[in-house]
């Protein structure tokens, strides 16, 4: 290594790409790489699979999709000048790899292949990819960059440790790391620890944006070899994250630290020396630290709310909808969905629909009107009584002699579902559903009724968290859009006279505690009892969770904010004889 | 090997177990193992994961479920006497394995662990299991049995080849191999070839039964070292498949065949010698070949029809429904679903509901009545006009000035969906949906309307195959239940005046050809054109397939009969910018 190397000027392109839209993604990457270069970066890093978007799922089984990605990458490379770009793409070689292209001087100079392929939780990478077998080093002037992709650094050891031992001063990680509650801080702590363990700077570039159930939160970060944060990207927004990395510091520190001296080099796993590139002359007037920005991480509730907003906005926009509508009951769940929708899209793109029945209270109707007015969204009202009467008449003979029961409640919910879907069909609006995770867990919903719609904004938000998020949102701005009475009124589906949720469910504090342990931690009934869950309710609740899998399977996607969301995360059989 | 060994008397317990119902499965396995022993078998083989059912999906992430399986296996072992039983179970050790227990003398004597874990198509085994690392041999008197599980034999080579080289005269394969069209014959051909390649008898024991979208077809088979079929189990039915395997023949043949002589033993992969067990004295009066039964394989359409019947019956029964209902339009699709339901459950457990509208023709109404009468199922009639008028009135103001369009068609379909769901709610019936694969592919259906229900019997059956299956069913029995006019009338949704499917879709021969190439073979537009698909329709059809992913995601499960079914097989993103 030369005695004196200028700091490496790095920019992380934390972009929001769209799955499958190779042409659009390439155009966006081209813009951001050029911007990075023009703002002084020598190296611009893009996220994992930036060319295809993440996760492309079974698009990866189409030869012509892989061909389009290869062409897109080549087109991007041809127009990349004056900067080194690291860009994630699905590589079609002897097999398919989750790969990172090293682009310089108008061509792809080398390719690194992801070694660790996650195949748990929402990840299915072993369905699609062959694993890489070695770390990868790129030499840029005297700078040595070790390349990694997402999961590669989620366990200690190689390939990152091997790259550090092979002399990397900086490990670059291109990621598509989805959000769940608390993930951002965990992730940064992990990156900091990897940097300290390897005495190596780390640059972690994450995707940002919503893709069906997943939200990628951004939160890219550059840390030095001691784990000090040099730059941090925004959450839930695109950003070009600049940093200048001292190339001497890591080497100097290693002189003092026996852990990374030659004695342990015998354990060196294989590292491919992928490319030797020249560095651009630095602009003598440029301050290498200029542009480095350290965004403060969001607090927990702002973080969750941010995920809901971005997840909703991207589902709507990326699927080409101009407008959304939702049923506004005056209850807390639909109120939260309405504020999220208004914040995500602007109130001018949102229609709320109240659909009162003979069981609707004056209070909920007034509250719904007030909330819509406060947020500035359009409000329609359609009473459901005529259809309800028609159905009762049509079914009178078939139901003759039977008591009224949940059937008549579900009928009302399904009439509302029909009305919203009719508006969706007529006007091209996307219907947002308003069920929360607590209800979704125990099936406290009507299939094809309140679950009818294209996107389930809060399906992974427990009822107790719904209250916290409303309180957060009300406190955030001076406008306090949500009327206090919405927050204080006891929850009710208003599908029969004087109905209250706690007629048939335990209080939500208790319910949510049971659900969190049973669903997110797979606790057994014995463990739940030991944790203090009330024995009286437990068996019924667990049974409800199991038997309502069929309902969940037919519900729309929604934003994943927990470590165990329904959908492609928690994959349970419908036909299931296990009790517990 | 002793000079003279009596033939090994083997029975394959082709059972229908229920996912998660460990206690029930253990009881069933105990019965079948005892029966096998009492009928003279020395070894009884059960299918892959017979203790848990297959696929248990995320139940495998619950420690207490794995514990229940371990207890179930021990309980089964304790009561197993006078016979060797090979039983599949999920083994919780240092990690979780897809394992086969060797049970003898009241205890688990050894465990073989599956080496090849499928993680493609409908399989996610790498999400759950660690792979085994060696073949497994069990010595039983002088007999040597090589153990394998399902995927282990779907590629040539180890572990089966290693076991053969280590002296196995018989390879046992415990499987949970799901059906798709043509799979049974492919599978038997593969087993025959493995036997010939390894000069070793093979005993393949498959699961039978429906589990959500999958149907396991049974079709177990025992072949000798030359590939001659010694015994074949029934399809779509439980069965105890007996065979007597000559233990000398393989060894003798190997003396003549250089491929399996010691010169190639240097390539021997590792094989664990799992257990040495004693053989039961044969009953001198017993004929070892007695009981061996060679069921003739079903013809193609009988095979598909059998899969639909068993898949439907098991979904209904295993989920505890007494009765099903479905909307009977007088069209060909609902007619097929009705015959399948009546054959699966008996006509006394089926209610057909006709729900005529102002657009229903006299012909379809008469046909529906005739079909229901022919099959002996209950028929209800509820006209939808009152609800349709109510909805039109309720939406009049909102839709003021807009043309009638698909919205009003969907409204009718959703009124029907509501009526069926109301009956489901009131009487506890399961609603069967009637959409075929062609419609499902291009979204020619109404979400929450005709797609509303618990099980989608023919969702993987293309329209052209619907016709073939109706013709098959009509020809099978003397009763010819389906009126000829149902078969000859041009398909129509009857949701507006004089509507015909071919107003908006190409003819079904053309459509199904495009869909098969695009969906089952992932053909590109260029390949489709080269295959002669009409350019005029192609782009629109492919686009319809893509943009209707959101609809398919909300539809109920149904029987998988193709190599690429919608659901957990073909996993496409909803938000998807790729065109092609």
Max CA-CA distance within chain B? 94
Alpha carbon distance B117, B450 (integer Å): 38
**Burial, A536: exposed, middle or buried (Cβ in 10 Å; 0-12, 13-18, 19+)?**
exposed
Nearest to A580 among B64, B411, B426 (CB): B64
Q: How many residues does chain A have?
A: 580
B432 and B313 in contact (C-beta within 8 Å)? no
Please report the pLDDT score of residue B287 as a whole number: 72
B365 and B356 in contact (C-beta within 8 Å)? yes
B529 touches chain A (CB under 8 A): no
A504 touches chain B (CB under 8 A): no
B238 and B208 in contact (C-beta within 8 Å)? yes
Strand A455-456 and strand A430-433: the pairing is parallel
H helix runs in B118-228, sequence order:
125-128, 160-165, 183-198
Nearest to B448 among A65, A421, A578 (CB): A421
Residue whose entry in the numeric block shows the structure tokens 């004597």: B109
Alpha carbon distance A14, A4 (integer Å): 30
Please report, to the nearest 10 degrees, the dihedral formed by the alpha carbons of residues A523, A525, A526, A532 taken in order: 80
B50 touches chain A (CB under 8 A): no
Q: Which two tokens stand for residue B410?
A: 């969907």
Q: Which residues of B are catalytic?
A: 48, 114, 150
Please report the pLDDT score of residue B361 as a whole number: 86
A448 to chain B: closest CA residue: B448
Residue whose entry in the numeric block shows the structure tokens 């008898």: B201
Residues from chain A contacting residue B452 (CB–CB below 8 Å): 447-448
H helix runs in B113-182, sequence order:
125-128, 160-165
Alpha carbon distance A437, A326 (integer Å): 18
Residues of chain B with pLDDT under 50: 266
Q: Which of residues 432-471 of B touch A (CB under 8 A)?
A: 447-448, 452, 454
Please report, to the nearest 10 degrees, the dihedral formed by the alpha carbons of residues B213, A577, A439, A465 taken in order: -100
**By three-state DSSP, how is residue A175 classified?**
strand
Q: How would DSSP label each residue in B498-520?
A: T--HHHHS--HHHHHHHHIIIII
Nearest to A387 among B127, B211, B387 (CB): B387
The partner residues of A139 in beta bridges, in order of sequence, read: A144, A276
Average pLDDT value for chain A: 93
Q: Which two tokens stand for residue B519?
A: 């969906």
Closest CA of chain B from A419, distance in Å: 8
A402 touches chain B (CB under 8 A): yes
Max CA-CA distance within chain A? 94
Please report the pLDDT score of residue A262 as a whole number: 54
Task: Give tens-digit pLDDT for A216-272.
Answer: 999 999 999 999 999 999 999 999 999 999 999 888 888 887 676 655 554 556 888
**By three-state DSSP, how is residue A62 classified?**
coil
Please name the residues in contact with A559: beta carbons below 8 A apart, sequence gap of 6 or more.
A210, A213, A215, A307, A308, A311, A312, A457, A458, A459, A460
Cross-chain Cβ contact B418/A391 below 8 Å = yes
Task: Give tens-digit pLDDT for A87-131.
Answer: 999 999 999 999 999 999 999 999 999 999 999 999 999 999 999
Residues from chain B contacting residue A558 (CB–CB below 8 Å): none
Q: Which one of the listed residues A28, A69, A91, A114 is annotated catalytic?
A: A114
* One-letter-per-residue 3-state SS of A361-372: CHHHHHHHHHHH
**Crossing angle of helices A22-38 and A63-78, rounded to 10°:** 20
Strand A271-277 and strand A135-140: the pairing is parallel
Q: Which of residues 303-362 of B touch A (CB under 8 A)?
A: 314-315, 318-319
A552 touches chain B (CB under 8 A): no
Cross-chain Cβ contact A411/B418 below 8 Å = yes
B428 touches chain A (CB under 8 A): no
Residue whose entry in the numeric block shows the structure tokens 């990694």: A148
Cross-chain Cβ contact A577/B398 below 8 Å = no
Higher pLDDT, A448 or B262: A448
* One-letter-per-residue 3-state SS of B224-258: CCCCCEEEECCECCCEEEEEEECCCHHHHHHHHCH
**Once rounded to an integer, what is the mean pLDDT over residues A413-419?**
98
**By three-state DSSP, how is residue B80 classified?**
coil
Which DSSP symbol is given to A283?
-
A486 and A331 in contact (C-beta within 8 Å)? yes
Which DSSP symbol is given to B297?
P
Task: Give tens-digit pLDDT for A509-562.
Answer: 999 999 999 999 999 999 999 999 999 889 999 999 999 999 999 999 999 999
B556 touches chain A (CB under 8 A): yes
Nearest to B554 among A382, A418, A555 (CB): A555
Alpha carbon distance B394, A539 (integer Å): 43
Nearest to A575 among B318, B526, B572 (CB): B318
Residue in A470, A566, A568, A561 with CA at minimum distance from that of residue A217: A561
Residue in A515, A473, A476, A470 with CA at minimum distance from that of residue A489: A470
Of the residues B96, B386, B394, the best mutation for testing chain A's interface (the one with the most A CB atoms within 10 Å of its CB) is: B394
Please report the pLDDT score of residue A288 as a whole number: 65
Residue whose entry in the numeric block shows the structure tokens 């931690």: A521
Question: Within its chain, how far is the Cα of B204 from the centroid?
Answer: 17
Nearest to A386 among B61, B390, B553 (CB): B390
User: H or E segment at A147?
Assistant: strand A143-149
Please give the backbone phi and psi of residue A393, each rounded to the nearest 5 degrees, phi first.
-65, -45
B96 touches chain A (CB under 8 A): no
B392 touches chain A (CB under 8 A): no
A60 to chain B: closest CA residue: B572
Cross-chain Cβ contact A394/B410 below 8 Å = no
HSE of A460 in the Cβ direction (CA atoms, 13 Å)? 29
A157-171 residues labelled b (16+ CB within 10 A) or e (exposed): ebbbbbbbbbbbbbb
Residues from chain B contacting residue A524 (CB–CB below 8 Å): 62-64
Name the least confident of A26-40, A91-105, A283-297: A283-297
B321 and B429 in contact (C-beta within 8 Å)? yes
A570 to chain B: closest CA residue: B58
A231 touches chain B (CB under 8 A): no
Please report the pLDDT score of residue A266 as a whole number: 47
B381 touches chain A (CB under 8 A): no
Nearest to A212 among B398, B414, B574 (CB): B574
A62 to chain B: closest CA residue: B522
A430 to chain B: closest CA residue: B550
Please report the pLDDT score of residue A261 as a whole number: 62
Alpha carbon distance B493, B416 (integer Å): 13
Residues from chain B contacting residue A389 (CB–CB below 8 Å): 390
Specify whether A299 is catalytic.
no
B422 to chain A: closest CA residue: A407
Phi-psi region of B42 (alpha: psi -120 to 50; beta: other; left: phi over 0): alpha
A1 touches chain B (CB under 8 A): no
User: H or E segment at A203?
Assistant: strand A201-206
Q: Which two tokens stand for residue B223?
A: 């072949």
B410 touches chain A (CB under 8 A): yes
Alpha carbon distance B546, A511 (integer Å): 39
Specify whether A200 is catalytic.
no
Residues from chain B contacting residue A314 (CB–CB below 8 Å): 575
Residue whose entry in the numeric block shows the structure tokens 């599956």: B114
Question: Between the CA of residue A337 and those of A194, A332, A495, A553, what are the distances in Å?
Answer: 39, 9, 20, 21
A380 touches chain B (CB under 8 A): yes
A222 and A245 in contact (C-beta within 8 Å)? yes
ipTM at complex level: 0.94
Please report the pLDDT score of residue B106 as a whole number: 96
Alpha carbon distance A455, A424 (integer Å): 13
Alpha carbon distance B167, B171 (integer Å): 10
């Amino acid at each position: 290594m030369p005695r004196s190397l200028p700091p490496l000027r790095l920019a992380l392109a934390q972009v929001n790409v769209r799955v499958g839209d190779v042409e659009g993604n390439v155009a966006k990457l081209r813009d951001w790489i050029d911007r990075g270069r023009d703002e002084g970066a020598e190296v611009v890093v893009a996220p994992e699979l930036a060319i295809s978007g993440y996760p492309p799922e079974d698009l990866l089984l189409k030869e012509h999709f892989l061909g389009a990605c290869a062409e897109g990458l080549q087109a991007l490379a041809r127009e990349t000048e004056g900067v080194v770009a690291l860009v994630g793409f699905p590589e079609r070689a002897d097999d398919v790899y989750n790969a990172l292209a090293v682009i310089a001087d108008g061509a792809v100079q080398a390719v690194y292949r992801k070694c660790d392929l996650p195949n748990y939780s929402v990840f299915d990478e072993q369905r699609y990819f062959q694993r890489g077998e070695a770390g990868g080093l790129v030499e840029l002037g005297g700078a040595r960059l070790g390349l990694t992709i997402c999961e590669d650094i989620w366990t200690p050891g190689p390939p990152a440790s091997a790259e550090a031992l092979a002399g990397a001063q900086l490990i670059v990680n291109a990621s598509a790391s989805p959000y769940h509650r608390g993930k951002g801080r965990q992730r940064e702590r992990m990156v900091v620890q990897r940097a300290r363990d390897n005495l190596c700077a780390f640059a972690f570039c994450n995707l940002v944006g919503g893709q069906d159930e997943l939200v990628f939160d951004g939160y890219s970060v550059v840390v030095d070899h001691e784990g000090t944060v040099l730059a941090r990207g925004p959450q839930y927004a695109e950003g070009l994250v600049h940093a200048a990395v001292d190339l001497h510091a890591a080497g100097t520190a290693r002189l003092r630290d026996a852990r990374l001296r030659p004695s342990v080099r015998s354990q060196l796993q294989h590292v491919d020396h992928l490319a030797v590139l020249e560095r651009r002359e630095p602009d003598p007037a440029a301050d290498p630290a200029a542009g480095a920005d350290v965004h403060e991480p969001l607090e927990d509730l702002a973080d969750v709310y941010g995920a809901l907003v971005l997840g909703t906005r991207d589902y709507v926009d990326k699927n080409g909808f101009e407008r959304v509508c939702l049923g506004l009951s005056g209850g807390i769940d639909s109120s939260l969905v309405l504020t999220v929708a208004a914040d995500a899209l602007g109130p001018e793109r949102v229609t709320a629909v109240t659909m009162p029945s003979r069981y609707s209270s004056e209070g909920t109707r007034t509250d719904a009107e007030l909330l819509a007015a406060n947020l500035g969204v359009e409000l329609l009202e359609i009473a459901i009584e005529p259809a309800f009467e028609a159905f009762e008449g049509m079914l009178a003979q078939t139901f003759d002699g039977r008591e009224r029961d949940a059937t008549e409640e579900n009928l009302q919910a399904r009439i509302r579902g029909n009305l919203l879907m009719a508006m969706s069909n007529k006007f091209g609006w996307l219907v947002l559903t308003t069920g929360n995770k607590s209800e979704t867990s125990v099936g406290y919903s009507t299939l094809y009724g309140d679950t009818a719609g294209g996107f389930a904004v809060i399906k992974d938000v427990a009822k107790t968290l719904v209250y916290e998020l409303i309180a957060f949102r009300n406190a955030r701005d001076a406008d306090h859009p949500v009327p206090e009475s919405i927050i204080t009124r006891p929850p009710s589906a208003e599908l029969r006279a004087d109905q209250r949720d706690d007629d048939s469910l335990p209080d939500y504090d208790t319910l949510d505690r049971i659900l969190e342990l049973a669903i997110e931690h797979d606790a057994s009934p014995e463990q739940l009892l030991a944790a203090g869950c009330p024995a009286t309710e437990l068996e019924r609740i667990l049974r409800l969770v199991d038997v309502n899998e069929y309902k969940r399977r037919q519900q729309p996607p929604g934003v994943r904010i927990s470590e165990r969301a329904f959908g492609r995360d928690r994959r349970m059989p419908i036909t299931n004889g296990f009790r517990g």
